[in-house]
Chain A
Amino acid sequence: MQLSISLLEITRAIDSWLNSVFHPHLAYGIELVLAGVAVILLVVAMAILMVYAERKLAGFMQLRLGPMRVGKWGTMQAVADVMKLLLKECLTPTNSDKLMFRVAPFVVTIVSFMTLVPIAFAKGIQLWDINIGVFYITAVSSLSVIGILMAGWSSNNKYSLLGAMRSGAQIVSYELSGGLALIVVVMMSGTLSISGIVQAQADGWWIIKGHIPVIIAFVTFVITSTAELNRAPFDLAEAESELTAGYHTEYSGMQFAMFFLSEYTNMFVLSMVAATVFLGGWMPFHIAGLDGLNHFMDYIPGIVWFFGKTFFILFLIVWFRWTFPRLRIDQLLKLEWKYLLPVSIINVLFAAFIALMGWYL
């Protein structure tokens, strides 16, 4: 008897029901809307959960308890924060460029939602299994720089401009190493599509199968993800103790909430990408030869594996934030151009050699 639930069967059942009740084109339209709404709701729910989890984790690392008052053990804290941001007035400075000022948060949020499209949550649960999945994600996520620069420029504020410039330089530089880290795994799997990469890990996750180059690529990718997200130790753009809040100084209320939401969504998306590409996506943990263990691992549904790995990487990113001091902008860029990029390039050569020879574990 199959104990594990397969989400694929649920979606197929919904699909056949809709097709039987409505006209096929209308059913397709309804499915599109349902899928989009489901993913957006999922991500927003995850963002709210992440806000609470980050504050609690930060509290425990700092010898304190974190939020405890709103709801039992502070669980309603994120809800209270969302309500507060909704009720605040969205100020627009008088001398700012009004159109750009109002559009910038939307640009950033839309871009972060667009990167959710190719991600595979479980077997067959993907919004669009495009054949250039990884490339699509890196390309679309680099559009967020436009939103940040728009926000910084249109605020008509020296601090915001400085923050936006720094942030733009940072994101553009770190995408190079991030892309090269992803290319290592793409070379080994032989395909850019997300489902292809996950299928290639059916006999072991890439971080175990492709040994040294993939481990180096994983470490590089986690570092560049924190840099792309403007999180500590790379959060000079929004350093509160240096230049107030950087490019989103002038935003308040729901506009600020959109920047906040897009930061958490991006964090979530990049963790999902890292979990898919390096840690096997929804593939369970198999050790060749131990059939009993493999059988037991198969019972845990794919989506639980996927979210477990995502949360592990999210936990790493949160851990970084509360432990390390901040890097100065020139040290940040020096780290990228002098250390991460040469190491990534040599790593790609090494990985190509290993892929050619087939020397996997």
Chain B
Amino acid sequence: MNSIYQYFRAIWYGFSSLWKGMMLTGHYLVHPKKILTQQYPENRDTLYIPERFQGEVVLPHDENNEHLCTGCTICEMNCPNGSIKIITRSVETPEGKKKKELDEWVYHLGLCTFCGQCIDACPQNAIKMDNSFEHSVYDRKLLTKVLNQPGSKLKSAKK
């Protein structure tokens, strides 16, 4: 008798658990407001990208086209896989001394792992991570960027 009771109990348990599962998916079927996905390229205006998102390294310039990078190459030494190449040149100061300054800040976006070690290591806080994320290009050469804008120079220290 007990086995017959167990038999019917198993059938009842099976149906009730399946019914509960179906009720859950049915609930989400009739509540389309709870849909999570977004239609990406059409919703660019309302996208929220946090400002700390590590998108790419940029060298911020202020309104006089000046930046803070002195060409010390500490970021290049700290980068784990060689995505940064700092090219410096020697210039003569008005006092006649030879000084090193930044010529080109070459950034290989294709190699970068977005680890942030360069930002962490820079003693002048010259670079930061921008939160842009649409980096796809059709030509690989566009992935090697020069970060300092033409004609920019180092911001002179306030005395």
> In the complex the two chains form, is B29's CB within 8 Å of A63's CB?
no
Do B25 and A319 touch across chains, with their CB atoms under 8 A apart?
A: yes
- Say yes or no: A64-B36 contact (C-beta < 8 A), given A319-B25, A319-B26, A322-B25: yes
Given contacts A323-B22, A324-B18, A339-B11, contact A57 B35 (CB under 8 A): no
Contact A323 B39 (CB under 8 A): no
B28 at the interface (CB under 8 A from A): yes
A324 & B21 in contact (Cβ 8 Å cutoff): yes
Query: A60 touching B37 by the CB < 8 A rule?
Result: no
Q: Which of B18, B22, B24, B39 contacts A65 (CB 8 A)?
A: B39
Do A61 and B37 touch across chains, with their CB atoms under 8 A apart? no
- CB-based contact A65/B29 at 8 Å: no
Judged by a CB distance under 8 angstroms, whether B34 is at the interface is yes
Q: How far is the CB of B10 from chain A (nearest CB, A)?
A: 8
For B34, what are the chain A residues with a Cβ–Cβ distance below 8 Å? 63
B35 CB contact (under 8 Å) in A63, A322, A343: A63
Contacting residues, chain B, for A62 (C-beta < 8 A): 28
| Per-residue B-contact encoding for A312-354, CB less than 8 Å = 1, 0 else | 0000000110111000000000000001000100000000000
Of B21, B26, B29, chain A has the most CB atoms within 10 Å of the CB of: B29
| CB–CB A64/B25 < 8 A | no
Tell whether, in the assembled complex, residue A57 and residue B22 are in contact, meaning their CB atoms are under 8 Å apart.
no
A324 to B21, CA, bound (A): 8
CA distance A273 to B39 in the complex (A): 40
A114 at the interface (CB under 8 A from B): no
Closest to B10 in A: A339
* Chain B contacts for A172, CB-based, 8 A: none
By the criterion CB–CB under 8 Å, are B28 and A61 in contact?
yes
Interface residues of A in 54-94 (CB under 8 A from B): 57, 60-65, 68
Give the contacts of B37-80 with A (CB-CB under 8 A): 37, 39
> Closest Cβ of chain B: how far from A319's Cβ, in Å?
6
Interface bracket on A? 10 to 19
B96 close to A (CB within 8 Å): no
Contact check, A61 vs B21: say whether CB atoms are below 8 A apart: no
Asked if B32 lies at the interface with its beta carbon under 8 angstroms from chain A, I say yes
Interface residues of chain A: helix, strand, loop or mixed (majority): helix
Q: Mark A34-65, 1 if CB is under 8 A from B, else 0.
A: 00000000000000000000000100111111
Known: A319-B22, A324-B18, A324-B21. A60 touches B29 (CB 8 A): yes
Given A319-B22, A324-B18: A68 in contact with B28 (beta carbons within 8 A): no
Q: Are A64 and B18 in contact (CB under 8 A)?
A: no
Specify the chain B residue showing the minimal Cβ separation from A68: B39
B24: nearest residue on chain A (CB-CB)?
Answer: A323
B5 → chain A, closest Cβ, in Å? Answer: 15
8 A Cβ contacts from B82-136 to A: none
**B28 adjacent to A57 (CB under 8 Å):** no
Would you call B39 and A63 a contact (CB within 8 A)? Answer: no
A57-B36 contact given A323-B21, A339-B11, CB 8 Å threshold: no
Contacts of B21 in A (CB 8 A): 323-324
Please give the distance in Å from B83's CB to the nearest CB on chain A. 35
Find out whether the CB atom of B35 lies under 8 angstroms from the CB atom of A61.
Answer: no
Q: In the assembled complex, which residues on chain A have CB atoms less than 8 Å from the CB atom of B37?
A: 63-65
In the bound complex, residues from chain B placing their C-beta under 8 Å from that of A65 are: 35, 37, 39
Complex contacts, B25 vs chain A, CB 8 Å: 61, 319, 322-323
In the bound complex, residues from chain A placing their C-beta under 8 Å from that of B39 are 65, 68
Q: How far is the CB of A360 from chain B (nearest CB, A)?
A: 25
A343 to B36 Cα, complex, angstroms: 43
A322 to B36, CA, bound (A): 18
Task: Please report the C-alpha to C-alpha distance between residue A62 and residue B24 in the assembled complex, in whole angstroms.
Answer: 10
Bound complex: CA A343 to CA B34 (Å): 40
A61 & B36 in contact (Cβ 8 Å cutoff): no
Q: How far is the CB of B25 from chain A (nearest CB, A)?
A: 4
Q: A64-B36, A64-B37, A68-B39 are in contact. Are A57 and B11 (CB under 8 A)?
A: no
How far apart are the CA atoms of A334 and B28 in the complex, in Å? Answer: 32
**A-B CB proximity, top 10 nearest:** A64-B37, A61-B25, A323-B25, A63-B36, A323-B21, A60-B29, A61-B29, A323-B22, A63-B35, A61-B28
19 example contacts (A-B, Cβ-Cβ < 8 A) are as follows A60-B28, A60-B35, A61-B25, A61-B26, A63-B34, A63-B35, A64-B35, A64-B36, A64-B37, A65-B35, A65-B37, A319-B26, A319-B29, A323-B18, A323-B21, A323-B22, A324-B18, A324-B21, A343-B11
Q: Which residues of B contact A (CB under 8 A)?
A: 11, 18, 21-22, 24-26, 28-29, 32, 34-37, 39
Q: A60-B28, A61-B29, A64-B35 are in contact. List 15 more A-B contacts (CB 8 A).
A: A61-B26, A62-B28, A63-B37, A65-B35, A65-B39, A68-B39, A319-B26, A319-B29, A320-B22, A323-B21, A323-B22, A323-B24, A324-B18, A324-B21, A339-B11
